[in-house]
Amino acid sequence: MEECAPKPIKDTGLRNVVIASTKISNVIGDQGKLIYRGYSIGDLAEFAAFEEVVHLLLYEKLPSKSELPDFKTRLTKEREIPPAVIDAMRTRPASSLPMDILQAAVPMLANHDPDVETDAPDAVERMGLRLTAKLATVLAAWQRIKEGKAVLDPLDDLDHAANFLYMFFGEKPSQEAVRFFDACLVMHAEHSFNASTFAARGVASTRAHIYAAVAGAIGSLSGALHGGANTRVMKMLMEIGDVKNVSSYVTRQLDSGGKIMGLGHAVYDTDDPRALILAPMSRQMGEKVGEPHWYEISRELEIQAKAAFKERKGKEIFANVDFYSASLYHAMGFPMEIFTPIFAISRVAGWVAHVLEEQFGGAADKPMLYRPESEYVGDYCGPEECSWEPIEKR
Ligand SMILES: CC(C)(COP(=O)(O)OP(=O)(O)OC[C@H]1O[C@@H](n2cnc3c(N)ncnc32)[C@H](O)[C@@H]1OP(=O)(O)O)[C@@H](O)C(=O)NCCC(=O)NCCS
């Protein structure tokens, strides 16, 4: 019989490996489609409020006309954060990374949650709603503390997006700002098994509590190749500084093997539908605040980088969600280090939906602890394991 050669294991980054089924969302990479529980992201960004999307993700359906006010009230009542959490934030250096502050606040919120030791579905759902409501308050409070300003209490008469803008900037926002920001929250809320959601599901699969899962997800989102890209897009736009510098930037970056932030995606090999919606929003907001050049640089960069990439690699590259959200957030007045935390205060809704699905079924027949295999390519001492050497002999 022919001897089988050992099968080489490739470091795949799990690309194209289906590890679980889900009813929450679908990313159809080759068609540029993103679907939350059957609804296209285009319709949701245009018509749905963030609260409706949270309801859709958690309860598998849009709220009815009568359910929506009650659901909004439930979220509104959960917005406040314990004074002890605010006091703890005050002890942090102003130079702290806001993603670290957000991540560190999550277990502190767990310390104050009466449900934290309960693993029944209704308790996990309550904790998930609390996290979704409170993370925005944590982020706004941190910004106020960092700027030496008074932390503002949430306002019950404002919806989630408007209330965050109020708590963050200290004044009631314009209707246009609310509409744009709400659409951003909707578009960032969910994206199937991306790295941070996978992290949340991996933690949740051990039956750790939802706060542990969300804290892990925030850490994952902070990375430059994931949510951290939007801040780096803005840094890159500032480095470029002017449309006339785009060409030399693209050449320099590709010549040195560097990446152009905000381009490329692990799943989409055509336009990311969110980038198509965000681009005109960035242009509009940039014009409104008298800073149209950030959009113009982005647009020129997208065109030139796509052409150069095609020429060098023989394949297409497309703008992802982070590319135009950077210039949009900048035009809205957000400091760039806040871009990724904004992503987190929206994506928390998706993480919560995935934790619920992971722990209580959904599409899966029986939720299982994640435990992949790896191939050991390290050493032995000859054909057997190494023999132990006492410290004096080493
Ligand atoms: C998101 C990302 C990690 C997807 O990666 P991927 O599909 O696994 O693709 P790879 O990283 O394997 O890249 C494939 C090739 O395209 C190149 N490439 C991918 N994205 C690139 C970018 N933004 N700029 C320049 N080159 C890029 C890689 O260098 C690689 O080249 P090689 O084949 O010569 O080694 C990648 O596109 C990236 O790093 N983008 C920039 C960061 C970013 O915007 N992240 C946010 C994602 S929503």
Residue 30 among the catalytic residues: no
Say if 27 falls within a structural domain: no
CA 257 from chain center: how many Å?
Answer: 26
Are β-strands 33-36 and 39-40 bridged in parallel, bridged antiparallel, or unpaired? antiparallel
Q: Which of 280, 312, 330 is the last residue of a domain?
A: 330
Residue 178 has pLDDT above 90, yes or no: yes
Q: Are residues 217 and 261 in the same domain?
A: no
Say if 385 falls within a structural domain: no
CA 377 from chain center: how many Å?
Answer: 34
Q: Are residues 137 and 265 in the same domain?
A: no
Residue 293 among the catalytic residues: no
- Residue of the nearest CA to atom 12 in ligand 1? 266
Residues 205 and 368: beta-carbon distance below 8 Å: yes
Q: Structural domain of residue 326, as residue ranges?
A: 247-330
Chain segment 151-163, per-residue pLDDT in tens? 999 999 999 999 9
Q: Are residues 50 and 174 in the same domain?
A: yes
Chain segment 300-343, per-residue pLDDT in tens? 999 999 999 999 999 999 999 999 999 999 999 999 999 999 99
Q: pTM of the predicted model, to two decimals?
A: 0.94
Q: Are residues 355 and 290 in the same domain?
A: no
Find the 260 Cα to ligand 1 centroid distance in Å.
8
Q: Are residues 157 and 288 in the same domain?
A: no
Residue 195 has pLDDT above 60, yes or no: yes
Say if 393 falls within a structural domain: no
3-state secondary structure of 222: coil
Task: State the average pLDDT over residues 39-53.
Answer: 98
- Residue of the nearest CA to atom 31 in ligand 1? 313
For a ligand 1 pocket test, name from 190, 265, 301 the mutation site with the most ligand atoms within 8 angstroms of its C-beta: 265
Instruction: Output 129 or 368, whichever has higher pLDDT.
Output: 129
Residues in Cβ contact with 79 at an 8 Å cutoff, skipping those fewer than 6 apart: 133, 134, 136, 137, 154, 163
Residues in Cβ contact with 2 at an 8 Å cutoff, skipping those fewer than 6 apart: none
Q: What are phi and psi of 92, to 5 degrees?
A: -85, 145
Predicted pLDDT of residue 1: 36
Q: What percent of the chain has pLDDT over 90?
A: 88
Q: What is the CATH number of the domain that holds 306?
A: 1.10.230.10
Q: Are residues 203 and 302 in the same domain?
A: no
Chain segment 99-148, per-residue pLDDT in tens? 999 999 999 999 999 999 999 999 999 999 999 999 999 999 999 999 99
What angle in degrees, to the nearest 10, is found between the helix axes of 67-77 and 50-59? Answer: 100
Residue 367 has pLDDT above 90, yes or no: no
Dihedral class, residue 4 (left if φ above 0, else alpha if ψ from -120 to 50, else beta):
beta
Q: Are residues 67 and 192 in the same domain?
A: yes
Residues 380 and 386: beta-carbon distance below 8 Å: yes
pLDDT band at 230 (very low <50, low <70, confident <90, very high): very high
Give me the catalytic one of 209, 265, 330, 354.
265
- Going from the C-alpha of 180 to that of each of 46, 112, 203, 271, 320, the distances in angstroms are 10, 33, 33, 21, 18
The owner of tokens 């590319």 is 323
Query: Of 220, 213, 323, 345, which is closest to residue 263 (Cα–Cα)?
Result: 323
Task: State the average pLDDT over residues 249-272.
Answer: 94
Q: What is the CATH number of the domain that holds 219?
A: 1.10.580.10
Ligand 1 lined by 325 (C-beta under 6 Å)? no
Predicted pLDDT of residue 364: 53
Q: Which of 312, 330, 348 is the last residue of a domain?
A: 330
Mean pLDDT estimate for the chain: 94
- Residue of the nearest CA to atom 8 in ligand 1? 266
For a ligand 1 pocket test, name from 27, 237, 263, 278 the mutation site with the most ligand atoms within 8 angstroms of its C-beta: 263
Residues 350 and 57: beta-carbon distance below 8 Å: yes
Q: What percent of the chain has pLDDT over 70?
A: 96
Q: Are residues 107 and 224 in the same domain?
A: yes
Find the 223 Cα to ligand 1 centroid distance in Å.
14
Q: Are residues 189 and 90 in the same domain?
A: yes
Residue 6 has pLDDT above 70, yes or no: no
Predicted pLDDT of residue 9: 63
Find the 283 Cα to ligand 1 centroid distance in Å.
25
- Residue of the nearest CA to atom 34 in ligand 1? 313
- Residue of the nearest CA to atom 27 in ligand 1? 259
pLDDT band at 17 (very low <50, low <70, confident <90, very high): confident
The minimum-distance atom of ligand 1 relative to the CA of 254 is 25
Find the 46 Cα to ligand 1 centroid distance in Å.
29
Q: Are residues 135 and 253 in the same domain?
A: no
Q: Are residues 55 and 199 in the same domain?
A: yes
Predicted pLDDT of residue 171: 97
Q: What are phi and psi of 21, to 5 degrees?
A: -100, 155
Predicted pLDDT of residue 362: 60
